[in-house]
Amino acid sequence: MGQLNQRHILVAISGGIAAYKGAELVRLLKKQGALVRVVLSRGATEFITPLTMQALSGEPTHTELLDEAAEAGMGHIELARWADLMIIAPATADVIARLAQGRADDLLTTVALATPAPVAVAPAMNQQMWAHAATQENIQMLASRGIQIVGPSAGEQACGDVGLGRLLEPEAIVIALNQRFDNRLLEGRRVVVTAGPTVEAIDPVRYLSNHSSGKMGYALAGACADAGAQVELISGPVHLDPPDRVTLHLVTSAAEMCVRALELADGADLFIGAAAVADYRPESTSADKIKKQAGDTLVITLVENPDIIASVSQLANRPVLIAGFAAETNSVMDHAREKRLRKGLDMIIANDVSDPDTTFGAEQNAVHLITETEERSLPLASKRVIAEQIVLAVADSLERLLRRP
């Protein structure tokens, strides 16, 4: 079995003559051990039947945006959440244009917008349509958003033309999808990731915390595991399932997270501090619920929490590479640069949490990677895609650090 074994692969087939190859693609994915579900556009049903795809995938074929059998009629959301990867094959010029515009006017494009999973498209169209400037601009736009472009290939086409635009053969598509999960750039490395908020108790029923959802940290932990790392995930309270192949350590307060981080980070290859750690905690915690008294003013004295990532950077046997996050609301780059130097970090990942698209809890993110020698931006994409791109960057930096004499 390859890297697709037990992966949830959503195959979306649009209405081109190459739709018939979708049957072979599903068969090959199943042979790889993948769990496959199929979405057919209305046009695709003119070329291949839902029954055929159901028989090959072993799952019901999805064709309609609103699904009465689904929870709350929202079948597209269930599919979007189910997928580990979505492949659109064939992707016609029309579908590519609608994806570039962010349209959601059928099941296929709606799921593509709604899924947090990586998306790949395998173009298939007439050679002149592929060469058209509009199509090329749309392809470049999709690629800039982190969407993987698989193909096309060249050869004789159904219309009689010869040129670039043929759907890549299903075997080649499967190889490309395997590589999506098979970078193995962190093979054998030990990685520690912190994620989520910390909770600082005031009394047994009240606490101080923040809006962190943990989604970015969990996506990073999963991406590191997919790259072959042994991953220790230290998580504050969140409502997320841990990624596969990751060891989860649940903590509540900043003090608890600090103890566990110092323990696990000692001698690690990589430490990624993605948690939103509370800067302060109450000086004292009441053993009993604080009762409200009419006219009273409640004063809570706060004391500073330990600086986890700075403490990790001061370990005698510190990780080879330490990356932290800077969630800022203004002067993002200036604050991030200063924070990297002050805390002794090799890399800092800055994002603007005042932007509704990239704030705490959002499904997407856009970040800036800052090291001693380089600054670059990763444009808005799903947190899964951003996490994969961050892993590529840290793996490269880690390799360079390990080569130093």
Query: What is the three-class DSSP state of 156?
Result: strand
State mean pLDDT over 201-217.
92
Predicted pLDDT at 144: 82
224: annotated active-site residue: no
From 66, 159, 162, 402, the catalytic residue? 159
DSSP state of 46: G
Q: pLDDT-based confidence at 303, cuts 50/70/90?
A: very high
Predicted pLDDT at 68: 58
Predicted pLDDT at 154: 75
The answer on pLDDT for 230 being more than 90 is yes
Task: Please tell me the CATH superfamily of domain 8-180, with its number.
Answer: Flavin prenyltransferase-like (3.40.50.1950)
Percentage with pLDDT > 70 across the chain: 93
Q: Distances in Å between the alpha carbon of 364 and those of 275, 289, 387?
A: 17, 38, 10
Among 73-82, 97-106, 111-120, 306-315, which is the least confidently predicted range? 73-82
Task: Please tell me the CATH superfamily of domain 190-403, with its number.
Answer: CoaB-like (3.40.50.10300)
Report d(CA 193, CA 231) in Å as an integer.
7
Predicted pLDDT at 38: 92
Query: What is the three-class DSSP state of 124?
Result: coil
**Mean pLDDT over all residues of the chain?**
87
Among 25-29, 268-272, 377-381, 387-391, which is the least confidently predicted range? 377-381
What is the phi/psi pair of residue 351, to 5°? -145, 155
The answer on pLDDT for 138 being more than 70 is yes
The answer on pLDDT for 5 being more than 80 is no
Question: What are the domain boundaries of the chain?
Answer: 8-180, 190-403
13 φ/ψ sector (left φ>0, alpha ψ -120 to 50, else beta): beta
Indicate if 190-403 has the same CATH topology as 8-180. yes
Contacts of 188 (CB under 8 A, 6+ apart): 228, 229, 230
The answer on pLDDT for 3 being more than 70 is no
State mean pLDDT over 250-257.
96
State mean pLDDT over 321-338.
91
State mean pLDDT over 234-263.
94
The answer on pLDDT for 261 being more than 90 is yes
The answer on pLDDT for 339 being more than 90 is yes
Predicted pLDDT at 75: 57
Token pair of 20, please?
């018939």
State mean pLDDT over 161-187.
80
Name the more confident of 216 and 329. Answer: 216
Predicted pLDDT at 85: 87
Token pair of 57, please?
């995938």
Predicted pLDDT at 399: 85
